[in-house]
Structure 1
Amino acid sequence: MPTATLNGVVIAQAADDEVVIVENNVYFPRSAVNPDYLQPSSHTSRCPWKGLASYYTVSADGHTSENAAWYYPAPFEAAKEIQDRIAFWRGVEVQR
């Protein structure tokens, strides 16, 4: 079962058939992510085939990782499968 943790705290968890893997990143359905650990960030980035990404800072158990979660609010057609999904990096450990 794919799980995302920060300092041992579970941030997201979903069944294998609920996640989407793109470019080796696990995209969790928004419903599988605990919003209590996410704070909106003003950071954005652009992917030529996915579109504009927005970010969250992730905080859990006294640890904070800035811009450690990202999502595409309106992905391009080629990446529609990741709409309403969140992926992690920067200290958030993702196990598949």
Structure 2
Amino acid sequence: MQALIGDTVIAEAPETDLIQIEGNWYFPPASVKTELFSESPTQYHCPWKGDTQYWTVTVDGQQHVDAAWSYPQPIPTSFDRVGKDYSGYVAFWKDAKVSE
């Protein structure tokens, strides 16, 4: 599967390596083109997953603020609910499109 902004692939991995949580596909950290990402100051706390890290994704000189997020250190009890350790996995929204 791929995550794209426009025609630019920002993450790519086989579907079997992804995790789906609450309707969002989470890509493994190694599949993300980190050179396009910079940390965002946006904060959010999920009561069952923990604190997020949002990311601004820059493609062709255009910043897509908060287009991605991850849980660097999820609440360990959430692994049971998800079925796997998803620390650092990255999900996308706003300007990003995830497709096969």
TM (norm. structure 2) is: 0.88
Which consecutive residues of structure 2, in runs of 5 or more, have no partner in the other structure? 80-84
Is 1:17 aligned to residue 16 of structure 2? yes
* 1:88 corresponding residue in structure 2: 92
Give the TM-score of the pair, scaled to structure 1. 0.92
Asked if structure 2 preserves the Cα contact closer than 8 Å seen for 1:37 and 1:60, the reply is yes
**Which segments of structure 1 move beyond 2 Å, counting only runs of 4 or more?**
78-81
Aligned to 2:76: 77
The CA distance in 2 between the partners of 1:61 and 1:18, in whole Å, is 28
Mapped to 2, the partners of 1:14 and 1:52 lie a distance apart of: 24
Task: Kindly provide the amino acid, as one letter, of the partner of residue 90 in structure 2.
Answer: I
The aligned amino acid for 1:30 is P
Aligned partner letter, 1:93: K
> Distance in 2 between the 1:29 and 1:95 partners?
15
* Cα distance in 1 for residues equivalent to 2:42 and 2:97: 21
Name which of structure 1's ranges 17-26 and 54-63 shifts more when overlaid on structure 2: 54-63
Distance in 2 between residues matched to 1:94 and 1:47, nearest whole Å = 22
Q: Aligned residues: percent identity?
A: 34
May I ask how many residue pairs the two structures share in their alignment? Answer: 95
Shift of 1:63: 2.7
CA distance in 2, matches of 1:54, 1:44: 7
Matched, 1:68 2:67: yes
Which 5+ residue runs of structure 1 have no aligned equivalent?
A: none
RMSD value, Cα: 1.2
Q: Secondary structure at the match of 1:94?
A: strand
Post-superposition offset of 1:41: 1.0
- Give the deviation of 1:74 after TM superposition: 0.8
Alignment of 1:38-53 (within 5 A): 38-53=37-52
